[in-house]
Amino acid sequence: MQSLEAFAGGKLAALEAGSLRRTLRPTRRFADAIVERDGRRLVSFSCNDYLNLSQHPAVRAAAAEAALNYGAGAAASRLVTGDHPLLGDLEKRLARLKGTEAACLFGSGYMANLGVIPTFAGPGDLILVDALAHACIWAGAKLSGARVIAFVHNDMADLERILVAERAGVRHVLVATDGVFSMDGDLAPLDRLSDLCTRHDAWLLSDDAHGVGVLGEGRGSAALFPQAHIPLQMGTLSKALGSFGGYLCGSQAVVDLLKTRARTVVYATGLPPASAAAALAALDLIEAEPELTALPLARARAFTEAVGLPPAQSPIVPVIIGSATAALAASTRLEAEGFLVVAIRPPTVPDGTARLRLAFSAAHTETDIARLAGLVRQILAEVA
């Protein structure tokens, strides 16, 4: 027991010394991107609730009604008794949105990648992962037992070089990328990835956690590349859809195999009915109001233009500061001005690229965006 305490204490001290220790800050969230911390109200640019749907009356009512009618939890794996009919309804809607034959729900986006990747790749296979892909893609790849190689971020020449060198020596190849990169906000070139995968018989997985609901009239980043063939389209219910859970959209055979083999489906409790009901209500709103889905990107573009940054490609805008200490100081200063903009530090992002990560929402006002842009311009001038 003493060695455990010493281990944890020593680790914490080292993280503290590098400005890398993280602590929780209790936060209440309200409509219109308002959050409350330590009794203070702030305008949040750090929630992934791009359409403000987690606070929408219809979405909240759907979740509440499902909880009242069907209970708070699913009580078992879907393969036992946890397959509430709302889950199948939601899968049909997700497949329709993505233009695939079928969909499989998971307990979260993280659990989706932990379940999907090892179902389709294992020892003797190769997984090629974009260097900036999300942590749960890496975790799924590691868990699979396949060999894993990183390719340079969005660098198709590097990916092709690896495919040419390695393809013949392995059984299957899976190429995994974020569709919208979570800490940089840029898009994967899904058309070129799809071409390379077709030519080298590799399977493309795109994680569109930050694309669904906010790009391609809500259908996600794949809709921006209509020629691309993406057989494994993963995403989350937890961001623009305002609920909780994850999914994989694909062919019927792919989905049927997941439902019988993916360990995070088989050995985990099904999604609560309330989460499915909330996501269904969110999809109703997204399909009824495609103009709503365009607002977060329009807000992000207004900000990048005002600051003089390259035009935003998604609702996520990184403001690279450099050191973790300076990024924390910038975040503290914005908080004093009434804005919540969380600093993102290594290991979430590469060393030396600690940053402010801004997530724009349909709920942000022009006034807030203009004032924040002015403050960020000052911060950038000082760290330059």
Ligand X SMILES: *Cc1c(COP(=O)(O)O)cnc(C)c1O
In this complex, which beta carbon is closest to ligand X, that of residue 174 or of residue 307? 174
Q: How is residue 319 written in tokens? A: 């403001």
Draw the binding track, 276-305, toward ligand X (x: CB under 6 A; -: no contact). Answer: ------------------------------
Minimum Å gap between C-beta 195 and ligand X is 23
Tell me which of 130, 184, 207, 368 binds ligand X, using CB under 6 A.
207
Look-up of token digits 């040419």: 164
Among 110, 138, 225, 360, binds ligand X (CB under 6 A): 110
For residues 121 and 129, give the distance between their C-alpha atoms in angstroms, rounded to a whole number. 13
**Does residue number 134 form part of the binding site for ligand X (CB under 6 A)?**
yes
Q: Long-range contacts made by residues 87-91, C-beta under 8 angstroms, separation at least 24?
A: 87/270, 87/271, 87/273, 87/276, 89/276, 89/280, 90/276, 90/279, 90/280, 90/283, 91/247, 91/255
**Active-site residue, 314 included:** no
84 is catalytic: no
The least distance separating ligand X from the CB of residue 117, rounded to whole angstroms, comes to 12
Angstrom distance (rounded) from CA 16 to CA 144: 33
Among 59, 63, 136, 354, binds ligand X (CB under 6 A): 136
Torsion of CA 349, 354, 356, 359, to 10 degrees: 0
Among 55, 238, 264, 275, binds ligand X (CB under 6 A): 238
CB 179 within 8 A of CB 222: yes
Q: Decide: helix, strand or coil at residue 130.
A: strand
Catalytic annotation, pick one of 56, 98, 200, 210:
210
Answer whether 321's CB lies under 8 Å from 346's CB: no
Is 344 among the residues that bind ligand X (CB under 6 A)? no
Binding mask 168-197 for ligand X (x = CB under 6 A): ----------x---x---------------
| Residue nearer to ligand X on the CB measure, 183 or 223 | 183
Give SS3 for 28: strand
Residue of 182, 206, 238, 275 marked active site: 182
- For residue 340 the two structure tokens come to 């919540």
Say whether 200 is catalytic: no
- For ligand X, the binding residues (CB under 6 A) are 108-110, 134, 136, 178, 182, 207, 209-210, 236, 238, 246
User: Where in the sequence numbering do the catalytic residues fall?
Assistant: 182, 210, 239
